[in-house]
Every structure is written in C-alpha cells, then in structure tokens.
Amino acid sequence: MGYIYIEMKNMKKVLNFIKKVFSICKDWIVSNGVEGVLGLLLGFVLWSMGYKIYAGFAFGVFATRNWDLFKGWVKSKLTK
C-alpha cells in the first residue's frame, strides 16, 4: 500500500511539471505572436524542402520577434 502512495506522489510531481512546461510554452506562443510562430514553422518546412534562402528569411522573422521579447525582458529587469 505504501508503494502505491509513493507512486501517486511521484505522478503528481510529473503532472505538475508537465503543466508548468505547457504553461511556459503557451505563454511563449502567445507573446511571440503569429509572426514568430509562423516564421519558425515556415522556416523548418522550407529548410526541409531545400529552400534554404527562403528558410533564412523565415528564421530571421522568428529571431527578430524573439529578440524584441528578450530586449523587453532585459529592460524590465534593469528598470526594477
């Protein structure tokens, strides 16, 4: 009976971890916007099809959007 309790306790920890990861991913997608997410997906699709130059443009959109997010985060930490 004690083994089942330990197993359920570990399962709750795993579920809490999965919920945190899901929440972080969801928040990143919401803050990144359509441009950033589509830039990443389109970049992977174009790269896998051999269109490396166009994929570079798509990844550039993705990187620019993430740079804006990172810059805003750093500014918020410096102004505190």
Domain assignments of the chain as residue spans, ordered by start:
2-78
**Is residue 30 scored above 90 in pLDDT?**
no
- In this prediction the pTM is 0.58
The angle that helices 2-48 and 52-78 make with each other, rounded to 10 degrees, is 130
46: tokens are 């174009």
Burial class of 76 by CB neighbour count within 10 A (0 to 12, 13 to 18, 19+): exposed
pLDDT over 70 for what percent of the chain? 91
Rounded distance between C-alpha atoms, residue 52 and residue 60, angstroms: 12
Ranges 4-8, 11-15, 50-54, most confident: 50-54
